[in-house]
Amino acid sequence: MPSVGKTIPHDSAVGHVTGTAPYIDDLEMLRDELHVSFVGSPVACGTLDLVDSSAATEIDGVVAVFTVDDVGSHNLWGPLFRDEPFLADKRLMYVGQPVVVIAAESPKALAKARRAVEINATAEPPILEIQDAIDSKKFIGLRRQIARGDAETAIRNAAHQLSGQFQIGGQEQFYLESQAAIAYPGEENQLIIHSSTQNPTEIQAVVAEVLGLSNHQVVCICKRMGGAFGGKETQAALPALMVALVALKTGRAARVVYSKDDDMCVTGKRHEYLAIWSVGFSSEGVIEGSKFDFYSNGGAAADLSTSVMERAMLHADNGYFFPNVELNGQVCFTNLPPNTAFRGFGGPQAVAAIENVIQRIAEHLNVDAIEVRRRNLYGVEDRNVTPYGQIFTRNLLPGIFDQLEESSDYKNRRLQVTRANQIDNMVLRGLALTPVKFGIAFTSKFLNQGNALVNVYTDGTVQVSTGGTEMGQGLNTKIRQLVADELGVPYRDVIVMPTSTEKNNNTSPTAASAGTDINGAAAANACRKIRARLADYAADLFTSNEEGLVKSPEHVVFAEGIVSDSRRTDKQISFGKLVNQARRDRIDLGARGFYVTPGVDFNRNTGRGNPFLYFTQGAAVAEVAIDRFTGELTVPRVDLLIDIGKSINPGVDMGQITGGFIQGMGWVTAECLVYNEQGHLLSHSPTTYKIPATTDFPSVFNCELFENDENLHNIRRSKAVGEPPLLLGVAVWAAVKDALSFVESEVDPQLCLPATGEEILRCLTDSGKSIK
**Residue 714 φ/ψ region, left for φ over 0, alpha for ψ in the -120 to 50 degree band, beta for the rest:** beta
Torsion of CA 282, 285, 290, 294, to 10 degrees: 160
What residues contact residue 439 under an 8 Å CB cut-off, 6+ apart? 311, 314, 315, 611, 612, 614, 615
Query: What CA–CA distance (Å, rounded) separates 679 from 235?
Result: 19
Q: Containing H/E element for 240?
A: helix 237-250
Query: What CA–CA distance (Å, rounded) separates 380 from 382?
Result: 6
- How many C-alpha atoms does 706 have within 13 Å on its Cβ side? 26
Query: What CA–CA distance (Å, rounded) separates 269 from 348?
Result: 13
User: Which among 270, 198, 748 has a CA at the least distance from the CA of 499?
Assistant: 198
Inter-residue long-range contacts of 573-577, CB under 8 Å, 24+ positions, other chains counted: 573/538, 573/541, 574/460, 575/460, 575/487, 575/488, 575/489, 576/458, 576/459, 576/460, 577/460
Q: Is 177 an active-site residue?
A: no
CB atoms within 10 A of CB 742: 18
Torsion of CA 755, 758, 762, 768, to 10 degrees: 100
Query: What CA–CA distance (Å, rounded) separates 18 from 457?
Result: 30
What residues contact residue 73 under an 8 Å CB cut-off, 6+ apart? none
Query: What CA–CA distance (Å, rounded) separates 605 from 739?
Result: 41
Catalytic residue selected from 33, 84, 470, 723: 723
User: Do the Cβ atoms of 248 and 191 come closer than 8 Å?
Assistant: yes
CB atoms within 10 A of CB 577: 14
Q: Give the three-state DSSP class for 197.
A: coil
- Classify residue 555 by its DSSP letter: G
Sign of the alpha-carbon torsion through 469, 473, 475, 477: positive
Torsion of CA 285, 278, 297, 759, to 10 degrees: -60
Residues labelled as active-site residues: 723
